[in-house]
Chains A and B, each alone.
Chain A
Amino acid sequence: MLYREVGQYRTNYRADMAIFPIRQDRIGLAIILAIAFLVVPLVGGSFFLDVVAIPFLIYALAAIGLNLLTGYTGLLSLGTGGFMGIGAYTCYKLTTWFPDVDIIVWILTGGFAAAAVGALFGVPSLRIKGFYLLVATLAAQFFLQWAFERVPWLYNNNVSGTIEVPTRTLLGLPITGATATPVTRYEVALCIVVVLTWLASNLVHGRIGRSWMAVRDMDIAAELIGISLLPTKLLSFAVSSYICGVAGAMLVFLWYGSAEPSVFSIDLSFTILFMVIIGGLGSLLGCFLGAALIHVLPILLRGVPPALGLDIGSSTVEHLNLMIVGALIILFLVAEPFGLARLWQTGKQKLRVWPFPY
């Protein structure tokens, strides 16, 4: 009953092309943002923020990055983990050289290095397609991970081979390092995610996004209508890697606090790809839904046996967890191959015409 658009007239083209043409959607988004900015940090304890909320935001951002490439441009990639690593290591090096510059600047700048590397590894995409490209991007993943391990310059030659996040402050408030509270780190992460999501949304709704989608749907046809493939595909790789790089820097600086090269392993790439597929290819909302499902589900499952009073060893729980997640992925793909975002769209459409079927 509440979700009805009766009486909302769009009188110009601009209003018709708005991203949220229905008033209830705009109100809903405002409420969600208000909850995210104000209620969550107040209500959620530091455990919730550190284990659920901050990782969720970071994964969602990385998923947006990959979705621009895979969902919007149709280029499969498994190099996400490596590109995220580039962002993190660049940010680390920059803040070592220039400790006085605000860390947020460096987190956002770290992405540019990732963008350059991403564009470089994107060059083969002009000739290679589909699964061949997928395996080609594995070259980026494995090479970068190897570089993180073997090039001591990247981690300032320290003995442990890990990068330790130094304490950096903004207006006197520590936002990274050991002394930063989960609430500040959460707010910083939220701001970055909101801004980048907004930018990504504008990008995919504009000329660039349309050329990406044309390339995705059929690249030969896109070429015939005057979209040159190389710049389009490389731009997609660059923007995607930029966002992934920022997410990687956030992963280390706002969540982990320190990172070994193995953090940016192939498993991370798989996790992000999962989020994109389960959430919905070519949907920004899907990235958030996918990240929520893939990240939160194992945490919830881990909590089930103690809640039922069952005494199961933690390793058994882990194994059961893997099995359930695996089975659920197959189940989701069978039930709704276009992802959670499509499920959401269907639900919204049902609400709009309720109580009639159509």
Chain B
Amino acid sequence: MHLLYLILIDPFAQMGAAPDLLAQTLWEGLVSGVLYALIALGFVLIYKASGVFNFAQGIMVVFSALTLVGLYAAGVPALLALAITVGVMFVLAVAVERLVLRPLVNRPDIILFMATFGLTYFLIGFGELVFGGDTKQMITAQLYLPAGAIDLHILGGIVTLQKLDIAAAIIASLMVAALAFVFQYTRIGRALRAVADSHRAALSVGISLNQIWVIVWFAAGIVALATGIMWGARSEVSFALEVVALKALPVLILGGFTSIPGAIVGGLIIGLSEKLFELYWGPLVGGGTEAWFAYVVALIVLFFRPHGLFGEVIIERI
């Protein structure tokens, strides 16, 4: 009986007793949800256009952030370093297309997936070799990102909003809007959607697959860079971020592999629910539930919707 009370009633009583804490948690869940959504967005872009489940997306986030910070530490001005990092991500996109995707075209999905694993290892080794394995501070002031916090006196308490988090949410929304615009209204976007629908049909109307792959990997690289800056500013830049990037996977299956809105909604659901669960129900099982809660939520959703909330339903025929 007491256990049922602790599970079913007590958390809500706590929420009612301290609405400011609830609001703070919701805000933090929202921000981390936005960042999960950004990583998931990179996955979705590549999966839609090339059918590759790009495991290296998480590492691309770390790698781009590391390049930026490393260049700045080497004496390059911040904005120039940002431009060079964008260039590096482009070179990476071209290299991946040439050296990995093109030789492996038409192979089973699992093989391409494994190849992105190889890419992950390569990038970890390369990043650590060039920039060192120690954790670094993200340059925020130099990139004109705001610091400090706003204290809102509401709900009978104080809710602290980090200005950086607000900036992250705004940048993420802008990025999603820009991507949606590009996808919907430009020539390249139409080509991308055509490739996502059918590789063969796209080829037959004269769309160059190789070019499209470079473009999506580059776009995913830029999304990775933005995520890396935001996440690096919230914590530190190190390869430990990779584990956090794995969190994008439940987000992905929650929303469905092929849906950009799904990635965003999934990110927000996971971000909010895991923070709430950790705060109110976590102590019952000993804490640290953020490590697995997202996956369990995704698993439960998959039971009812095997292709995620917004994913394309695959019809199988004999």
Residues of B within 8 A of A334 (CB): 100, 103-104, 115
C-alpha gap A281/B128 in the complex (Å): 32
Residues of A within 8 A of B129 (CB): 316, 319-320, 323
C-alpha gap A187/B306 in the complex (Å): 46
Contact A138–B288 (Cβ < 8 Å): no
The verdict on A353 contacting chain B, using a C-beta distance below 8 Å, is no
Interface-facing stretch out of B7-15, B105-113, B136-144, B224-232: B105-113
Residues of A within 8 A of B110 (CB): 76, 277, 281
Q: How far is the CB of A103 from chain B (nearest CB, A)?
A: 30
Residues of B within 8 A of A330 (CB): 99-100, 115, 118-119, 122
Contact A124–B299 (Cβ < 8 Å): yes
Q: How far is the CB of B66 from chain A (nearest CB, A)?
A: 13
The verdict on A210 contacting chain B, using a C-beta distance below 8 Å, is no
The verdict on B257 contacting chain A, using a C-beta distance below 8 Å, is yes
Of B53, B107, B253, most buried by chain A (CB within 10 Å of CB) is B253
The verdict on B252 contacting chain A, using a C-beta distance below 8 Å, is yes
Residues of A within 8 A of B125 (CB): 318-326
Contact B318–A136 (Cβ < 8 Å): no
Contact A326–B122 (Cβ < 8 Å): yes
The verdict on A139 contacting chain B, using a C-beta distance below 8 Å, is yes
Name which residue of chain B comes closest to A123, CB basis.
Answer: B303
Q: How far is the CB of A287 from chain B (nearest CB, A)?
A: 16
Task: Known contacts A138-B295, A139-B295, A319-B128; decide if A277 and B318 are in contact (CB<8 Å).
Answer: no
Q: How far is the CB of A175 from chain B (nearest CB, A)?
A: 35
Name which residue of chain B comes closest to A331, CB basis.
Answer: B118
Name which residue of chain A comes closest to B311, CB basis.
Answer: A132
8 A Cβ contacts from A11-60 to B: none
Q: How many residues of B contact A (CB 8 A)?
A: 51
Interface-facing stretch out of A157-165, A177-185, A217-225: A217-225
Interface of A is mostly: helix
Contact A130–B291 (Cβ < 8 Å): no
Task: Known contacts A146-B291, A329-B115; decide if A135 and B296 are in contact (CB<8 Å).
Answer: no
Residues of A within 8 A of B99 (CB): 330
Of B99, B100, B299, most buried by chain A (CB within 10 Å of CB) is B299
C-alpha gap A19/B126 in the complex (Å): 44
8 A Cβ contacts from A117-134 to B: 124, 127-132
Name which residue of chain B comes closest to A334, CB basis.
Answer: B103
8 A Cβ contacts from A196-231 to B: 218, 220-221, 224
The verdict on A266 contacting chain B, using a C-beta distance below 8 Å, is yes
Contact A139–B122 (Cβ < 8 Å): no
Contact B114–A220 (Cβ < 8 Å): no
The verdict on A344 contacting chain B, using a C-beta distance below 8 Å, is no
Residues of B within 8 A of A273 (CB): 114
C-alpha gap A149/B287 in the complex (Å): 11
The verdict on B202 contacting chain A, using a C-beta distance below 8 Å, is no
The verdict on A145 contacting chain B, using a C-beta distance below 8 Å, is yes
C-alpha gap A76/B53 in the complex (Å): 13
8 A Cβ contacts from B261-318 to A: 285-289, 291-292, 295-296, 298-299, 302-303, 306-308, 316, 318
The verdict on B259 contacting chain A, using a C-beta distance below 8 Å, is no
Contact A142–B291 (Cβ < 8 Å): yes
Contact A127–B303 (Cβ < 8 Å): yes
The verdict on A315 contacting chain B, using a C-beta distance below 8 Å, is yes
Name which residue of chain A comes closest to B289, CB basis.
Answer: A146
Contact B306–A129 (Cβ < 8 Å): yes
Residues of A within 8 A of B296 (CB): 139, 143
Q: Which residues of B contact A (CB under 8 A)?
A: 53, 99-100, 103-104, 107-111, 113-115, 117-126, 128-129, 133, 243, 246, 249-250, 252-253, 257, 285-289, 291-292, 295-296, 298-299, 302-303, 306-308, 316, 318
Q: Which residues of A contact B (CB under 8 A)?
A: 76, 124, 127-132, 135-136, 138-139, 142-143, 145-146, 149-151, 218, 220-221, 224, 266, 270, 273-274, 277, 281, 315-316, 318-330, 333-334, 337
* 19 sampled A-B residue pairs with Cβ under 8 A: A131-B253, A131-B257, A132-B306, A139-B298, A139-B299, A150-B287, A151-B286, A266-B243, A318-B128, A319-B125, A321-B125, A322-B121, A322-B128, A326-B124, A329-B114, A329-B117, A330-B119, A333-B115, A337-B104
